[in-house]
Chain A
Amino acid sequence: MANPTENPAMETPSPATPSSSYSSPYTPKPENPAPQSPSPSPALASTARLWRPTAQRNLRNQWPKLASYRQQWASSSSTARSHATSLVNSYLSLKYMPSMELGVLSDMPNIRKKACQKLFKQQELHRSGLLSSYKDMVSVVTHMVQTSRSMRCFVKGATNNPLVQSSGCSEDKNDPGDGGGIPVFAFWSISCFEKLAEELVQMFILELNLKRLVVVELLSISCDVPTVNSLDWSDELYPGEFGELSICNLYGEETCKPIYPRLDDQKFEMPAARCNQQPDHDVLQVYLTTWIAEVNIDAHRYITGVISTGMISRGLSYCSLGMLKVTVLLGISLSGDPKLG
């Protein structure tokens, strides 16, 4: 978090000061590339010179965070996947144990019982492993959401002696924190970056929601009759889960239930009532495939989304779009203005 007092030069705006080395060759005149942003006030126009370096520094801090959260997501998701696979395998072994051909081993006393006990213990172990990796994933996504909401920089203090702060909330209702929509890096205004971050984070939110369904189902599998582990979608999987889900807009405050998963381009449909039938081998395979496939995280659709919103105009070539995709998805941090084709 950039602290404005660390840089005394920030506190005294002087019109004679040459613009920062970071700034793009375009003059920060009150130009508005994002049509949805309100027109900048004269006060903001006068502090634009002051605002931009702080905004750039803030963006350079925030974007790499998104990239590193993405890596954390990948690693938690992969840990969860291996727990899920082992959980499924020990469940299937337990299920088939009574009919399993044991050969010479069948002479050993209580061999089946001992094997079942061992498998049961393994199942418990992987169940808690899966739950704790899921918990990590929820926490990563809440961090992503918070980061995507920390792109703006607000002007604080008096008009004649303003301070720019890269986080928190606005003191002035007329200050949206986007520098009046002026470009921060090259042609990109704050709202462009925000929109990108939001789209990126939205993919992870949807994926988290879908994975929650798989987690609920996998934690519910059990050989016991009646099933002791049976969980419902509306159960809180660990203390504090609903609070975190509501940061991600995944908790319905009116229904007091987590929002049921849907895909990005699809309508929501009310789930049918839960049946207590245990999933068979094929269903479990589909669950695990769903976990691996990450259907909601799609770079191509992501880029199409960017193009279709029409937020990129004025000569951003496809080449630079490709670069942007790499920047955002592969976690290469922004350093200075992107070189545009």
Chain B
Amino acid sequence: MGMEAMVKRYQQRFRKVKDEMDSWALLQSRLISQFRNASSIIQRLQVLQDSKNYGRLKDVVGIEEALLAKQMESLQNIFLSMKKTMEEFHAIVLSLGKIHRDGRQMVKGGASGQLSVKQLQQRIGVKPSLADCLDGLMLLQDMHCSEYVTLWYLLKSSLVSALSELTLKPSDSDLGALQQLLVDQPNIPKEEVQFIFDIIFAEEIC
């Protein structure tokens, strides 16, 4: 297979990566809103646990327990849907991994046999080299994988601990900081992602 044809096939893979990243962005905004709902319930729980906040409702026997139970139930449901969202993130990570593996397979076991380092780094015009393509796929997969792992860690530790420590200390600021992390996605630096796509699709930009 000619170099140019191979680059074309890599570019197709990058388009697939782009689609996956678009789904990722949708999932991210879903996760943020789920998180926002969860933290507003968590913050509310403190107010609900204090019987002097019930005003006239304190004449309704059992209202405090019933209200807390209902809120915990809603929180449980939000956690379940967050778990589902996380599973979908995982599916994207797996898919990116597969795209990367298939890409590596193309240069290793392709019809053209083993390629030399020189061939891998060879550039034709503004087209990316095969090494650029491979590195790009690997980096993008790495970023999303790390972000996924970080998300899991953050959600599990922070959210659950925020809930269990609720009676001890207010955790509003912690939850706020966590929400900012969900928005920022520190493992997926936007400029770096853009840089990779700029190299791969340089001809379309020019």
Q: Contact between A295 and B53 (Cβ–Cβ < 8 Å)?
A: no
Give the residue among A272, A290, A294 with the most B Cβ atoms within 10 A: A290
B59 at the interface (CB under 8 A from A): yes
Q: Would A261 and B53 be within 8 Å (CB), given that A286-B48, A293-B70 are in contact? A: no
Cβ contact of A282, chosen from B53, B56, B67, cutoff 8 A: B53
Please, how many angstroms separate the alpha-carbon atoms of A217 and B60 in the complex? 14
Q: Would A289 and B44 be within 8 Å (CB), given that A282-B50, A295-B67, A295-B70 are in contact? A: yes
Q: Contact between A289 and B62 (Cβ–Cβ < 8 Å)?
A: no
Shortest distance between the CB of B17 and any CB in chain A (Å): 39
Shortest distance between the CB of A324 and any CB in chain B (Å): 21
**Residues of A close to B60: CB separation below 8 A:** 210, 213, 261-263, 266
Q: Would A263 and B54 be within 8 Å (CB), given that A282-B47, A289-B71, A295-B70 are in contact? A: no
Please, how many angstroms separate the alpha-carbon atoms of A272 and B59 in the complex? 7
B61 at the interface (CB under 8 A from A): yes
B109 at the interface (CB under 8 A from A): no
Please, how many angstroms separate the alpha-carbon atoms of A265 and B65 in the complex? 12
A103 at the interface (CB under 8 A from B): no
Chain A interface residue count, Cβ-Cβ cutoff 8 angstroms: 30
Q: Contact between A262 and B55 (Cβ–Cβ < 8 Å)?
A: no
**Residues of A close to B74: CB separation below 8 A:** 293
Q: Contact between A286 and B47 (Cβ–Cβ < 8 Å)?
A: yes
The chain A residue with its CB closest to the CB of B55 is A283
Shortest distance between the CB of A207 and any CB in chain B (Å): 11
Q: Contact between A287 and B57 (Cβ–Cβ < 8 Å)?
A: yes
Please, how many angstroms separate the alpha-carbon atoms of A269 and B50 in the complex? 20
**Residues of B close to A270: CB separation below 8 A:** 59
Interface of chain A residues 203 through 242 with chain B (CB within 8 A): 210, 213-214, 216-217
The chain B residue with its CB closest to the CB of A261 is B60
**Residues of B close to A271: CB separation below 8 A:** 56, 59
A78 at the interface (CB under 8 A from B): no
**Residues of A close to B55: CB separation below 8 A:** 217, 279, 283, 286-287
Q: Contact between B62 and A294 (Cβ–Cβ < 8 Å)?
A: no
Please, how many angstroms separate the alpha-carbon atoms of A301 and B161 in the complex? 29
Give the residue among B44, B54, B55, B69 with the most A Cβ atoms within 10 A: B55
Closest 5 CB pairs of A and B: A271-B59, A283-B55, A295-B66, A293-B70, A266-B61
Q: Which residues of chain B have a CB within 8 Å of any CB of chain A?
A: 44, 47-48, 50, 53-57, 59-63, 66-67, 69-71, 74
Q: 27 pairs across A/B with beta carbons < 8 Å? A: A210-B60, A213-B56, A216-B56, A217-B55, A260-B59, A263-B60, A266-B60, A266-B61, A269-B59, A269-B61, A270-B59, A272-B59, A274-B56, A279-B55, A282-B47, A282-B50, A283-B53, A283-B54, A286-B54, A286-B55, A289-B48, A289-B71, A290-B57, A290-B63, A290-B67, A293-B70, A294-B70
